[in-house]
A and B are shown apart, each in its own frame.
Chain A
Amino acid sequence: MRLAIYILIFLSSLAATAQSLHENSWQHFSSDRAFVGTDAYVSGASNSITNSFAWNFLRQPWLTNELRNNQSAKLTTGTTNRSGVDYSSSVTAGLNLASREHGVFLHVADRFNAESIITKEAFDLTTRGNKPFAGDTLNLGYNMLRSIRYQQIGIGWTYSAKADSRYSVMVSYINGQSLNFGYLNNASLYTSSIGDTLAVAAAAYANVSDTSNRTFAASNAWGLALDLFMSQEIDGMNNCWKVNVSMTDIGFTQWTNKTATYLVDTSIVFGGLEIANLDAFLNLDSTDIVSDSVSQFMDQIHYTNQVGHRLPGRLQINLTQQVAKGFYAGGGVAFRLFSIYRPYGWLTGGLAFSESFKTQLELGYGGYGNLQVAAMAMFQTDHLRAFAKIGNLEALTVPQHFGGATAQIGIQYAFGS
């Protein structure tokens, strides 16, 4: 029975934070030793798109009416339907300086962030067509999609005067690989009851980085980023607590002048093309007729120029009870800048099987999703630190109602003593 309880606790906490933002490996080593480390992080979450729908959309041949209806019912008409995906992989190497209070490190990472707002109306139009809405006007505004992928190489400094505190700063050069940003600000589609009139109004803005140069690490932007990290142990409630405060990827990117910008302000009432006279028609090029008859309604600006884009930086405060063995607790809050990511707060409960091995369970709310559950396991010795996380357990276990999946693994090795 005892074994069963241990197994249950282990399994339930075998993962990481759900949408708590991942911490780079360099944040976990002090300045007194050289180290190398690598980690990878993939996370997707949504407060509106369920795993069931996403799985069927991405991996199954057919979306049934039931799936589409269930998904549609989960969506709202406003801007609250958030979805986001993050990917990160990195390698870090650090060296201690002679004083052992100071250390420097080199950090190389590849990152990707995508997020979107999909309104119920846009989803319904996409998955059902316009016929079910004949006689009505669909409001298609407030849909948004943004993705950015970039690589960074950073040089950092760590100061650790005492065993219970550490301060780090890293300055990174950013290479922007790709940027896609589109925002349908105001849009509507009216379909008359028999379909003889379509009225489309749309005001949209979009940026797309150079589409001819999209290979891995393609250089389409440059930028700078600043990371700050502080770790401090404090006493309270008869326990020792570690507070980690991090600011990650606070910076900007400047995309080259091959970046396309689209500004569309369109109002079209379309009832079919009309050519009144046969002779006149035959004497004209049909392309001219079509272009003339439609272009008069279009108001679109398209140009290429340099575009500045701020990085979706992260702020996170993490509080963890420090115990050598037994149960421990914690919590935290995460914010994301220039993002639709909502503040994410969480509570953790963990079990330290020994000083080397811990498991942890997290229950949080916010971020790209709503209620989220995650689990983590960590093994740490004097030289080795390894961890694995699985997040969004709620979505994995109840995919019809929740959306998301998160996984992270990492390993670091410290040299010397």
Chain B
Amino acid sequence: MNAFFRHKTAFLIALSLVVFSQCKNAFTPANWSIDVLAPIAIGNVNFSDLVVSDYLTSDSNDLIHLTYSDTIIRLGLDTLVGIPDTTIEEEFVIPIGGISFPPGTPFYVDTLRTKYKLNDIRLTYAEVRESLFTVELENRIDAPLLVRYTILSATKDGKEFVIEERLAAKTDFDDQFNLDGYSLDLRGIDQNTYNVLNSVVEVMIDPNETQSHTFSAGDRFAIKNTFEKIIPEYAVGFFGSNSTDYSDKTEIDAFNLLPVKAIDFSDFDVSLAIDNGIGADLELTIERLSAVNAHNSTEAELQHDIIGKKQQFGRALNLFDDQNPVKHTQKNYSFTQQNSNLDALIELLPSTIEYEIGIKTNPLGDISLGNDFIYYGHDLALMLDLDVPLSLGVEGLQLIDTFDLEFKRSDVAQLEQLESGYLNIYVDNGYPFETSIQLYMHNSDSTILDSIWTENTLVKSAIANGHGDVLESVESLIQVPLTQELIDRLDEATLVSFKGTVNTFDKQIIHVRSTQNLAFKIIVDVTGSVQ
């Protein structure tokens, strides 16, 4: 039945022929002429269909706005206060034999002091968000051991981080742990230093043993632990006074689907917010910010007072509130046609924003006395807010819809002879501009086979008032003779696309509203003989 309905013209003809269908099998019936009128496709194209809908909104006047908000630069805790991976290896070898130790009495105790190399950064306290702690133990002693590993600097609910593992005689052990949620006091045992993690390793004959163990010369025990991927939730200290240059790029997809050759915005509202969520003074310099259209290899650099000028940012305020721990400091920069060339960047329809920035932390030194802080997720960010009401001039704006025409040779093959026929294309134009339209036939690979008619045809503009606001849409009829050649092409095609092309560039500014659309109906009107 689906196949039956794939061909609507066939459906009509079949419906009308049903009465005589039995006779057809028994005799050779006469031919006669019928007139068939049937819709084969409808479409409704509007501007919102063309761009990812998240970026299009309409205001109270139905005027469509292109709104885009994204963080184009983000420098966070891992960038400024990255704690490197650290590995500690210890080995204990019994130099001489004949030494006995009772069970439960440590024969090896060592306090380990790990000093992180963080350049000028001096961390005194951190809370761990994520971490990976790997422990490898090697027992070459002919007795079961108990190994106790205590990180003195790591506490949670007042308790230190402790690992106790029993190793059978002459066996190895390795496992992974984490310090997630632990607080790290990095001031050392005497609490007078920084970046230091203290731990203790104790090794003893398994207390469950009943007899003392006599060591042999060369008996060996080894430990290796590695701190990896430590991501603090919160860190305190002095973050140094360093200058760092960053350059990177950010993909931007708001303009990718905007099918215009060129666009001329008449109005826009763009702001750049620089937001500092870090508890340290910063000096920021945007050396370069440019928009790049990778599709046509065009690029434009931003020209604005902000470029190349050092911007001083005071530190964020630590509120010590679990729900809202940081009060950010923020600066906003407005971009207009008068103070920038940002419209040139937007009209480039960029696919990428490229930037080069320099950041200097604590340009005035350690004025917080080691109380710089940073919370996870509270970063230094450059956020772009773009709101462009679509009052614009465009060149080659293409309103495209693609549909299954549902017109197959077998449909008209039921007509013994096509006497005359038309594709009647009704276009209801709700836009206040004339639109050049065309229909293209595609094969299954979406390759264009041919156009349905040879020349672009203009459909009339909607009736508009003096401000360009549409009062009433206007319907136009385009009649295309249905020739055998066209039928053959349509039979070969699997897709047909409707393309309306708008050119108002340098001529008029149009207001694109959500209530406007370009609607079309394609109706087959044929006269043919059937049997």
Contacts and interface: CB of A to CB of B under 8 A. Distances in A.
A7 interface: no
Interface stretch (B22-30, B197-205, B217-225): B22-30
B1 interface: yes
Given A56-B30, A57-B30, A58-B27, A290 B35 contact: no
Contacts of B426: 194, 196
A300 B524 CA distance: 27
Given A143-B19, A277-B49, A58 B38 contact: no
Contacts of A184: 18
Given A122-B18, A131-B35, A198-B38, 19 more contacts: A58-B27, A61-B30, A63-B30, A63-B31, A118-B19, A122-B19, A126-B16, A145-B22, A194-B521, A194-B523, A195-B37, A195-B424, A195-B525, A274-B43, A281-B402, A286-B404, A290-B404, A290-B406, A294-B2
Most buried by A among B8, B37, B41: B37
Contacts of A58: 23, 27-30
Nearest to B42: A272
Interface string A125-158: 1111111101000001001010100000000000
Contacts of A198: 8, 12, 38-39
B327 interface: no
Contacts of B36: 129-131
B19 A196 contact: no
Interface of A: 56-63, 65, 68, 114, 116, 118, 122-123, 125-132, 134, 140, 143, 145, 147, 180, 182, 184, 189, 191, 194-198, 200, 270-278, 281-282, 286-287, 289-291, 294-295, 298, 300
B1 A298 contact: yes
Nearest to A138: B16
B31 A62 contact: yes
B118 to A, nearest CB: 48
B403 A274 contact: yes
B5 interface: yes
Chain A to chain B: the 9 pairs with minimum beta-carbon distance, closest first: A129-B34, A195-B37, A131-B35, A63-B32, A272-B42, A272-B39, A129-B35, A131-B37, A272-B41
B94 interface: no
Contact of B22 (A180, A273, A298): A180
Interface string B422-438: 00101000000000000
Given A145-B19, A195-B523, A127 B34 contact: yes
B155 interface: no
Nearest to A298: B1
Given A122-B19, A126-B20, A278-B497, A196 B521 contact: yes
A274 B20 contact: no
Contacts of B43: 274-276
Contact of A271 (B42, B49, B401): B42
Nearest to B45: A276
B38 A195 contact: yes
A56 B531 CA distance: 12
Contacts of B527: 129, 131
A344 B514 CA distance: 70
A273 B403 contact: yes
A116 B30 contact: no
Contacts of A290: 2, 5-6, 404, 406
B412 interface: no
B523 A132 contact: no
A271 B1 CA distance: 19
5 contacts: A57-B29, A58-B27, A271-B39, A273-B41, A298-B1
Given A58-B23, A118-B19, A196-B521, A276 B424 contact: no
A59 B28 CA distance: 7
Nearest to B524: A195
B35 A127 contact: no
